[in-house]
Amino acid sequence: MRLPYCLVAVLFAAVGALPSAAAALCSPPPTRAEQSATNGANVSPEDLLGLWDFGDGGSSPLNASHIALSPNKKQLAVQMRRADAATNRYCMALVIIDRSGQSAPIIADQGGDFIKAQFSNRRLAGFPIGLPMPLTPRWSPDGHHIAYVRRDQGQTRLWIANADGSGAEAATSGDLPISDLRWSADGRHVLLAADTNRLEAERRIEEEGLSGFHYDYRIWQAARALPFPPGPYPPIYYQVDRETKQLMSLPADAASKAFGSRGEGIPANARLGTFSDDGNAAAWVEREQPDQLRSPSRLHAVVDGVPIACQSEACAGELLGIWWTDRREILFLRTEGPADRSHLALYKWHPRRGRPTLLLRTEDLILGCQAGKGELFCGYERSLEPRRVVAISARDGAVSTVYEPNPDFARHRFGAVQRLYWKFQGGEAFGDLVLPPDYRNDRKLPLIVVQYTSRGFLRGGTGDEYPILPLAAAGFAVLSFQRPTDYANRIPAANIAEFSQNNVTGWADRRHVLNALEAGVSQLIDRGLVDPARIGISGLSDGASTVQFALVNSSMFRAAAVSSCCEDPSNYDSAGEEYYRDLVSWGYPPRGTDGRKFWQRYSLLQNADKIAAPILMQLSDDEFRLALPAYHALEAAGKTVDMYVFPDEHHIKWQPAHRLAIYRRSIAWFRGWLTPQGDPASPSAGERP
């Protein structure tokens, strides 16, 4: 469907909002995001929830943007999504973007449901997680069609859309667990990899239930009683005729050619392997010390059969991506200091012309780049700017916007944002300080710590549950805290067990992170900016572990909110045998031994009587059982603890209504216990907010 030009002129005046046809999938009347942006209001929870987004969730530069570049490199295809709390669904649209900007974006398809990603957890397959399925649309060789995956009413299918917006249709029937797709060279077939073997294993497990499940390592009882299939499972390969829609098996040799992970000339232990367009040059990174788990990596290339290792310091470290230009130059993205990884830097290197050249160094987030003609197309975020599509010049590193899905968001009212760096016992750390929009350096502020990554758009921390900008609008200073690199990074380790033992011994890594966090907060107290009696802390996953350790070992925090909880000896029996096996290999005391001394400095269960801060727990239904022993111990000790459990949720929560409820309750919780100046919302003594 191509939109009328008059409508396009309005909607895309500032490079392009997503067309109203897609926005109409959300519930009317116009969303608060649109209303408040027009009025220049503070950012609300509804504003954050209503943003258009694309690519992987989260703010890691390792995430994919799932931008699909057309064969002629003049168009891009992006699958957009927007959460809608009223319907508890997502608005979905496949958008075709013209690189030149001379033509308006096209909605090639709209509709469908959010597809949750699944991952392998230890030896178990099919674990759901509330992140979008990581699958990029694919252009046909002639650039006229786009193949992609869409889910409707529980059925996942291959779809094919016309790139001119003239129509889209399902190309398979029934539910097919597609995990990857490609076009055949002649464009007549779409080749599929599917997780069919895992589904068959799940069906066999259901049959096993008729005579009772044997309790073994397959059961992850924190999530469910039904065993998970022991993986991995090789995919089954298919081909679909574009015209007839006939689904057939794909011969093994054709599947290997289409889906093979590594070409000739790239070592088996390499990462990020990539080939030039003509196939005569390859590049990759590999560990400088292969026997060390956290060894720095170095950039290597082979050009016309000649191996070349880049000897510059810039070519070694944490390298995140490699791309060939059409001039046989290599672009590579890496992290740089200060504070270990606070900046991203893009370099250009010609393997036969000496040292690499710095093109761009930034505190912003760059992710999921694709190489075009003399440029990279990437997802890009800044502290106050949600994700957009940009082009980065391979000549000089200049950044230009190609597609802005949320042009009105900039009309909101924001407080000051400052990137902070500080030293602590053990290294250097960084984070972002966000102040209330009306703050004039006229009072000490309550502070909320949001964890544990601080890159790009300041949305809600890891897991996106603690809305940074709405918290600032509610009168809080917010420290978006970037977790420092692991304590164990400084100690040689050949494998993950050795690495984890170095972290766990004496709770070295937990102390390392808490030292960094306390030093950053103390800096704000010393500046006279933050009231030391009104400091809150929040977190999910590793961030929740930091909260737990802080509540036992620090008196700095007066209120807490967690999205997962809790680590203590009860995990041995409440999680699963796979997790228990890992814990013991990492240095945790095994069953049948006295582990009280080990747990004394960490466990909420063993320290319930010492906990002073009220704790809010907002947990998924496949993780809340891990928190029950600590919850009941705190309750029995007369402590303030409140728990909410969200159905059909996972480690990362995905449902729009749940996310909005969590946003709102988190703000209310901290307002109740750490009331900002002038805020009448203060609970009476002993009353829960």
Catalytic residue annotation:
541, 623, 651
Are the C-beta atoms of residues 541 and 462 closer than 8 Å to each other? yes
My answer on whether omega of the bond before 237 falls inside 30° of 0, hence cis, is no
Matching residue, tokens 């992987």:
56
Q: Which two tokens stand for residue 324?
A: 């060939």
Q: Where are the beta strands (DSSP E) in 396-475?
A: 399-403, 417-424, 427-434, 445-450
Burial 208-229 (b: 16+ CB within 10 A, else e): eeeeeeeeebbbbbbbeeebbb
Burial 253-285 (b: 16+ CB within 10 A, else e): eebeebbeeeeebbeeebebbbbbeeeebbbbb
Phi and psi of 534, rounded to 5°? -135, 70
Residue type, 170: A
CA angle 576, 582, 588 (to 5 degrees): 105
Collapsing DSSP to helix, strand or coil, 80 comes out as strand
Which residues, 6+ apart, have CB-to-CB distance to 428 below 8 Å?
Answer: 337, 338, 339, 340, 421, 422, 484
From the list 315, 558, 530, the residue with the least C-alpha distance to 439 is 530
My answer on whether omega of the bond before 232 falls inside 30° of 0, hence cis, is yes
